[in-house]
Amino acid sequence: MALKLSVIGTGYLGATHAACMASLGFDVVGIDVDESKISQLKLGKVPFFEPELEPLLAEQIASGRLTFTTDFSAIADCDVHFICVGTPQMKDGLAADISYVNASLDAVAKIVKSGALVVGKSTVPVGTAMRLREKLLSINPAADLAWNPEFLREGFAVEDTLHPSRLVVGVMSDSAENILKEVYAANLAEGTPWVRSDLPTAELVKVAANSFLATKISFINAMAEICDASGADVTVLAQAIGYDPRIGNKFLQAGIGFGGGCLPKDIRAFMARAGELGATESLEFLREIDSINNRSRNKVVEMAKRELGGSCEGKRVAVLGAAFKPNSDDIRDSPALYIASQLKVAGADVVVHDPKAIENSKKKYPELSYVDSVDELLAGADLVLHLTEWKQYREIDPVHAKSLAHGAIIIDGRNALDMNAWSSAGWRIHAVGRTSR
Residues near ligand UGA (CB under 6 A): 123, 150-154, 210, 213, 217, 251-253, 255, 257-260, 262-263, 266, 324-325
- The distance of closest approach from Cβ of residue 181 to ligand UGA in the complex, given in angstroms and rounded to an integer, is 22
Cα atoms in the 13 Å half-sphere on the side-chain side of 331: 23
CB of 335 to ligand UGA, least distance (A): 6
Q: Which residues contact 309 (CB under 8 A, 6 or more apart)?
A: none
Kindly state the smallest distance separating residue 33's Cβ from ligand UGA, in Å.
21
Query: Nearest 5 degrees, angle CA 403-CA 335-CA 239?
Result: 80
Can you tell me the distance from the alpha carbon of 128 to that of 200, in angstroms, rounded to the nearest whole number? 8
| 262 is known as an active-site residue | yes
Q: How far is the CB of 201 from ligand UGA (least distance, A)?
A: 17
Instruction: State in angstroms the smallest separation of the CB of 25 from ligand UGA.
Output: 25
DSSP code for 252: -
Q: Which is nearer to ligand UGA, 304 or 416 (CB)?
A: 416
Single out the catalytic residue among 78, 84, 262, 312. 262
Percent of the chain as helix, strand, coil, to the nearest 5: 45, 15, 40
What DSSP assignment string belongs to 112-155? Answer: PPTT-EEEE-S---TTHHHHHHHHHHHH-TT-EEEE----PPTT
Is residue 87 within 8 A of residue 203, CB to CB? The reply is no
Helix (H) or strand (E) holding 350: strand 349-353
Q: How many residues does the chain have?
A: 437
Question: Distances from the Cα of 301 to the Cαs of 292, 332, 344, in angstroms?
Answer: 14, 19, 10
Does residue 313 sit in helix, strand or coil? coil
- Run of H or E including 184: none
Q: How far is the CB of 56 from ligand UGA (least distance, A)?
A: 18
Please answer whether residues 237 and 227 qualify as being in contact, where contact means their C-beta atoms are separated by less than 8 angstroms.
yes
Give catalytic residues, as residue numbers: 262
